[in-house]
Chains A and B, each alone.
Chain A
Amino acid sequence: MKTNSVNPKEDIQAIREIMERSSKFMLLNSWAGFFAGTCALIGAAVVWFGVLESGALHYDEFLCTVGGSPLNSVTIGLGTVALIVLLLAGVAAIWFSYRKAQKAGQKFWTSSTKRVLAHLLIPIVSGGIFVLILVSRNQIDLVASAMLIFYGLALVNAGKFTSGEIHYLGMAEIAVGLLAGVFASYGLVFWALGFGLLHLVYGVVMWMRYER
């Protein structure tokens, strides 16, 4: 490394590169979006055709009439699918980011990675606990709404430390989540829209902007 000669162009490039690398988590990519979106859509289909028996069990009627224990085959089915989708999408996002770091010869576990994760996890974990509280009180009609809103808040929170697209994805998730609260009987539809379609849109935007 040349240390004592002035080369303004290289110096400015180095400054810019270090500022980017030290402040923002830039490893998220379109694959994470495509994968998360696909998982969520498959998950929603499994719920519709499997757990709710193609609509034979009406989402809203079932939610109104269910009484007694909050744990029954339907809530367990919904919960398992949601958990699997969350885990698959999360692990995939980390894996695609890790691979991108490796390809670019960058380190993965840096302070910006930790910061983004911490800012994501605080709203997500509180949201998860809140969802469990809703389920324990048989307020299942608001679960989809709560998941989307807390996830959106997590993205907006983490968006300050990553590329700007995450911020807008978060805002969109919050909007869909609020609509899911108003039209509570269509929770599953909004869930598929928010976790499925929006992630696919995110994937397309990232691909068009940075990876094409």
Chain B
Amino acid sequence: MKNPIANLQKVFESRIRLGIMSALMVNDTLDFNALKELLELTDGNLASHLKALEQQEIIVVSKQFVGRKPSTTYRATEQGKDLFRQHLAALEQLIGNQ
């Protein structure tokens, strides 16, 4: 049997990135503040993890203005969703093997 660990995605080893992606799997888009409240993180910490996910093309960022306030929203890419599903399947397989 194929080792399920091979399907674990290194990028989701961080619980924070896992959390960001979990939220973006069930919400089309979320803004920075919504993620911050949801995951109870500091601005800098959240921003660095978002940056990492963005660089790997797991999420895309869009910036626009709501009235005069800038608003940054995040969305999971199809590729990102696929990776997340693989990761989740691997986790479930690991539990099954224990």
Q: Counting CB contacts under 8 A, is B88 at the interface? A: yes
Q: How far is the CA of A11 from the CA of B95 in the complex (A)?
A: 11
Interface of A is mostly: helix
Given A1-B15, A14-B15, A110-B38 in contact, is the A19-B26 Cβ separation under 8 Å? yes
Report B-chain residues with C-beta under 8 Å of the C-beta of A15: 18-19, 22, 88
Report the bound CA distance from A133 to B18 in whole Å: 51
Q: Which of A2, A11, A12, A22 contacts B23 (CB 8 A)?
A: A22
A212 proximity list for chain B (CB < 8 A): none
**A65 shortest CB reach to chain B, Å:** 52
Most chain B CB inside 10 Å of its own CB: which residue of A3, A6, A15, A19: A15
**Which residues of chain B come closer than 8 Å to A18, judged between CB atoms?**
19, 22-23, 38-39
- Residues facing B in A1-59 (CB within 8 A) are 1-6, 8-9, 11-12, 14-16, 18-19, 21-23
When distances are taken between beta carbons in the complex, the residues of chain A under 8 Å from B8 are 6
Give the interface SS of chain B, mostly helix, strand, loop or mixed. Answer: helix
CB-defined contacts of B91 to chain A, threshold 8 Å: 8, 11-12
The answer to the question of A107 belonging to the interface, with a C-beta cut-off of 8 Å to chain B, is yes
Contacts across chains A and B counted by CB atoms under 8 Å? 62
Interface pair A111/B30, CB less than 8 Å apart: yes
Q: Which residue of A lies closest to B12 (CB)?
A: A11
What band does the interface of chain A fall in when counting residues whose beta carbon is under 8 Å from B? 20 to 34
Identify the interface centre among A1, A11, A23, A110: most chain B CB within 10 Å of its CB: A11
Q: Which of A3, A19, A21 contacts B16 (CB 8 A)?
A: A3
Q: Chain A interface (Cβ within 8 Å of chain B)?
A: 1-6, 8-9, 11-12, 14-16, 18-19, 21-23, 107, 110-111
Interface residues, chain B, with chain A CB atoms under 8 Å away: 5, 8, 13-16, 18-19, 22-23, 25-27, 30, 34, 37-39, 88, 91-92, 94-95
By Cβ-Cβ distance, the 8 closest A-B pairs, closest first, are A8-B91, A18-B22, A22-B23, A23-B26, A8-B94, A15-B22, A111-B34, A19-B26
